[in-house]
Amino acid sequence: MLRLVLWDVDHTLIENAGVSKEIYAAAFTALTGRTPSHLAPTEGRTDPDIMAELLRIHEAPPFPWPQVERALEAAGAAHRGALAERGTVLPGVVDVITALAALPGVVQTIVTGNIRANAEVKVAALGLLGWLDLDVGGYGSDDRERSRLVAVARTRAAAKYGLDFGQAANAVVIGDTPRDIEAARGAGTRILAVASGIHTVGELRAAGATCVMSSLADRAAVLAFVLGS
């Protein structure tokens, strides 16, 4: 059996304890020389979207994306210690990720609105990097539209591991927001929605997820869904 498991990062694998927002604020300050008075909503959006919104609401000029990405990357690297110190891995994650990693034919990676560098900082700071192949993920640095990132990851996985890994039927998204659900459904991919972020089980169901869990603590149930069809 082949499975490409596409993990969301924030509020699915990890809780960042506000460090994400500090990274956006630091990037904003690096670009504009100002401290942001308030932050843009993040949940499930891509970094290019979040930074564009943050600049817009402060009436700052838009910056070229490469410059914004460099500022985000520097801010992410500077916050690695804070992530390691204050961030946490969510319940059940290590159990599930290690169980899946032990199965032949399973590849695990990330689909996130974070730029790749900062996704890597987050999972590395909290000890999850060894189970994930970030080379075949989909990131906010690939496309501003999150809905396209599942396809980006599948294309990369197919190129590295074989065409079957690009099949929608062999992929599963695990995420915590309606945007994860929309991205998975738009790509014809199954989604396990987990209510470990700000959205309730009911909200995630209403957003179209047929499998919703309150956490990933029930390893058997998570594996049954991921490995089922």
Least distance from C-beta 54 to Mg ion, angstroms? 18
**Of 168, 180, 209, residue with least CA distance to 114:** 180
Nearer to Mg ion, 31 or 110 (CB): 110
Helix, strand, coil percentages for the chain (3-state, nearest 5)? 50, 15, 35
Least distance from C-beta 66 to Mg ion, angstroms? 25
The single residue among 6, 7, 11, 150 that binds Mg ion, judged by CB under 5 A, is: 11
Span of 5-13, 19-27, 60-68, 187-195 interacting with Mg ion by CB under 5 A: 5-13
Contact flag: residue 15 with Mg ion (CB under 5 A): no
What is the x/- site pattern for Mg ion, positions 151-190, by CB under 5 A?
-------------------------x--------------
How many helical (H) and strand (E) elements, i.e. helices and strands, does the chain have? Answer: 10, 7
The single residue among 8, 47, 142, 182 that binds Mg ion, judged by CB under 5 A, is: 8
Q: Do residues 174 and 196 lie in contact, with contact meaning Cβ atoms separated by under 8 Å?
A: no
Report helix angle 65-78 to 19-32, nearest 10.
130
Cα distances from 119 to residues 69, 137, 206, in angstroms, run: 13, 10, 28
Residues contributing to the site for Mg ion (CB under 5 A)? 8, 10-11, 176
